Amino acid sequence: MTHFKKNNFRVQFLFSTILFLIADQVTKFIILKNISLSASIPIIENFFSLNHQYNPGISFGFLSQLPQPWGSWVLGCISFAIIIGISIYSLRLKNATLAEVFSYSAIVGGAMGNLFDRVIRGAVVDWLHFHYFGKYSFPTFNLADAFIVCGVFLIIGMGIKSADLRKSKANIVK
pLDDT for the residue numbered 159:
86
Q: Which residue in 24, 117, 145, 164 is the catalytic one?
A: 145
CA 48 vs CA 20, 42, 156, 163: distances in Å:
23, 6, 28, 37
User: CA-to-CA distance for 32 and 117, rounded, in angstroms?
Assistant: 12
pLDDT for the residue numbered 72:
74
| pTM (predicted TM-score) | 0.84
Give yes or no: 117 in active site.
no
User: CA-to-CA distance for 28 and 117, rounded, in angstroms?
Assistant: 9
pLDDT for the residue numbered 88:
93
Residue numbers of the chain with a pLDDT score lower than 70: 1-7, 58-71, 163-174
Single-letter residue type at 51: N
Give yes or no: 24 in active site.
no
pLDDT for the residue numbered 97:
86
Judged on CB neighbours under 10 Å (0-12, 13-18, 19+), 63 is middle
pLDDT for the residue numbered 171:
54
Domain ranges, ordered by start, for the chain = 3-169
pLDDT for the residue numbered 80:
95
pLDDT for the residue numbered 68:
64
Return the SS3 of 32.
helix
pLDDT for the residue numbered 85:
96
pLDDT above 90: percentage of residues in the chain: 58
Q: Which of 147, 71, 138 is nearest to 114 (CA)?
A: 147
pLDDT for the residue numbered 115:
95
